[in-house]
Amino acid sequence: GENVEQHPSTLSVQEGDSAVIKCTYSDSASNYFPWYKQELGKRPQLIIDIRSNVGEKKDQRIAVTLNKTAKHFSLHITETQPEDSAVYFCAAIRRTAGNKLTFGGGTRVLVKP
């Protein structure tokens, strides 16, 4: 089955700086890669996603890049703000295989004012 590794596990940045989280996946057939933001005790919130036929996607301060050959994808948050502090999860899915999401281990991001 799919295995998703996520690094770093914790990330502390100064407000206004950029944050980068990296994930690798094992199943070359995975074709959809969502990123979630989760606050304590709440449901994961989809913040951005990318399909395997796209190399990069951007939405305001958030961007995701995908390298299918290397099987890794990254989340980039620019101009970080204190409200960006949360736990972020990457995930991978093979849409032809029942849509089971496999999550990375999570990154706890702390943005210091």
If the CB atoms of residues 69 and 99 are measured against another protein, the closer one turns out to be 99
Q: Which of 1, 97, 91 is nearest to 49 (CA)?
A: 91
Identify which of 3, 86, 104 has the alpha carbon closest to the alpha carbon of residue 45: 86
Q: Does 106 bind another protein (CB under 8 A)?
A: yes
C-alpha span between 82 and 71 (Å, rounded) = 31
DSSP code for 99: T
Find the binder of another protein among 25, 33, 73, 89 (CB under 8 A).
89
49 binds another protein (CB under 8 A): yes
Residues that bind another protein (CB under 8 A): 32, 34, 41-44, 46, 49, 51, 89, 93, 95, 98-106, 108
